[in-house]
Structure 1
Amino acid sequence: MGIITLKRMKFHAFHGAIREEQLVGNTFYVTLTMRCNFGNATKEDDISGTINYSDVYELVKKEMQQRSNLIEHVAQRILDAVLDNFPVVRSIEVTVSKMNPPVNGEMEEACVTVSYPNR
């Protein structure tokens, strides 16, 4: 068993409850932390026993391209997609960060984290 973390994958996407966000878009970062069964990958240096980062990235990219009003919804969709497509994942934490969210003040980012199994 081991942990794979894919940190701060960057996307321009159109998530948000405000019309301007849906039209202009924003910068988002996604971080995944996955506890996985590596099988023989650690001993045999064989990618088939673990997760190909590129495949996970493409899956996250696909989910980020599908618009949502809430980053909570995006995070849950990513979590579900990873669990559905990568059976070696035993637990996962997904954080979606929206940079410079539209608030009446100054805020660097708003983040939502979902996990399975839920803690």
Structure 2
Amino acid sequence: MDYIHVNEMEFYGYHGALAEENVLGQRFRASVSLAIELAEAGRTDDLAKTVNYAEVYDICQSIIEGEPRKLIETLAEDIAGTILKKFPSQVQGLKVVLIKPDPPIPGHYTSVSVEITRGRFE
């Protein structure tokens, strides 16, 4: 299987379990890896034989900059489900990593994140 990686997209959203997160908002970073057969696209140089990663970016942007959610797990599930639905014949599976670099919790750390893997299993 081949992969397309769309790395470290950054957006501003109003997600979180705490009220101030929904008012002040914060940065979010997302990376998406798509499991997809790329041989034909590589041989033919035909965009129709692959997934346009600009569309993947747009999906992530609309979800992360969209309706507030309490959990980043929900955002990751929404991203995965939307991509699988939009590209039913191309994307066989995917990994979504959603990073919250500045959560309002005390302590010293770089970020918190969730990583989910979803796919089409027979």
Give, in whole Å, the separation in 2 of the partners of 1:48 and 1:95. 26
1:18-33 to 2 correspondences below 5 Å: 18-33=18-33
Over the matched positions of the two proteins, sequence identity in percent amounts to 29
After TM superposition, list the pairs within 5 Å mapping 1:1-119 onto structure 2: 1-38=1-38, 40-64=40-64, 65-87=66-88, 88-117=90-119
CA distance in 2, matches of 1:60, 1:3: 18
Partner amino acid, structure 1, of 2:86: N
Following superposition, the deviation at residue 117 of structure 1 comes to 3.4
* CA positional deviation for 1:107: 2.5
Q: How many residues align?
A: 118
Work out the CA distance in 1 between the residues paired with 2:79 and 2:61.
Answer: 9
Secondary structure of the corresponding residue to residue 40 of structure 1: helix
How far residue 66 of structure 1 moved from its aligned partner, in angstroms, is 2.2
Query: What do the CA deviations read for 1:26-68 (whole angstroms, capped 9, x no partner)?
Result: 1100000111023621101010100111111111111112210
* Helix, strand or coil at the partner of 2:96: strand
Q: Secondary structure at the match of 2:69?
A: coil
Structure 1: unaligned runs, 5 residues or longer:
none
Query: Contact conserved, 1:39 with 1:50, CA < 8 A, in 2?
Result: no
Moved over 4 A (4+): none
**Secondary structure, aligned partner of 2:104:** coil
5+ residue gaps, structure 2, are: none
